[in-house]
C-alpha cells in the first residue's frame, strides 16, 4: 500500500533536493558601519559613537572601551535604546590625541567577535 500513490517520484526528488541544498549558516557579527570610521580625524571633545553590525547582537554581553595613547581605558556606557544590531555611546571630554575604540560583541550565532577602530581627535 502506497501512502501517496502517484506522488512517490516527486516526494523522492523533494527529499533529495533538501539533502543537498545549502543550509543557512549564522555568520559572526561583523561591523558594517562605524562612526567614527577607522582612521577618521575628528574635531571636538564630545563624540557620538555608533557601531552597526551585520546581525543582531547581545548588548548585555557586549563591551565598548575607549583606549588613549597614554594607556588609559574607559568603558563607555552603551545606549539601551540603540537598534538590536547596533552599539551606541557618547564619549565626552576627549583631549586632542589618538584613540582606539575596542569593541567586543556576542552575535546571535553564540560567538564573540572583537576589534579596534583607531581615530584621532584634533583641536
User: Which tens digits make up the pLDDT trace of 57-84?
Assistant: 999 999 999 999 888 999 999 999 999 9
6 pLDDT more than 70: no
So what's the pLDDT on residue 28? 85
Read off the pTM: 0.75
Delimit the domains of the chain by residue range: 29-122
The CATH number assigned to the domain with range 29-122 reads 2.60.40.1220
Confidence of residue 12 (pLDDT cuts 50, 70, 90): low
13 pLDDT more than 90: no
So what's the pLDDT on residue 43? 96
Burial class for 24, CB neighbours closer than 10 Å (0-12, 13-18, 19+): exposed
- Please calculate the CA angle 74-89-65 and round it to the nearest 5 degrees: 30
Amino acid at each position: 500500500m502506497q501512502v501517496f500513490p502517484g506522488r512517490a517520484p516527486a516526494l523522492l526528488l523533494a527529499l533529495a533536493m533538501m539533502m543537498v541544498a545549502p543550509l543557512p549558516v549564522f555568520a559572526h557579527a561583523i561591523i558594517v558601519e562605524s562612526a567614527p570610521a577607522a582612521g577618521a580625524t575628528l574635531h571636538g571633545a564630545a563624540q557620538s559613537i555608533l557601531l552597526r553590525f551585520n546581525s543582531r547582537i547581545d548588548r548585555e554581553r557586549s563591551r565598548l572601551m575607549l583606549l588613549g595613547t597614554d594607556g588609559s581605558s574607559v568603558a563607555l556606557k552603551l545606549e539601551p535604546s540603540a537598534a538590536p544590531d547596533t552599539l551606541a555611546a557618547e564619549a565626552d571630554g576627549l583631549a586632542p590625541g589618538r584613540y582606539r575604540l575596542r569593541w567586543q560583541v556576542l552575535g546571535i550565532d553564540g560567538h564573540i567577535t572583537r576589534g579596534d577602530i583607531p581615530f584621532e581627535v584634533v583641536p
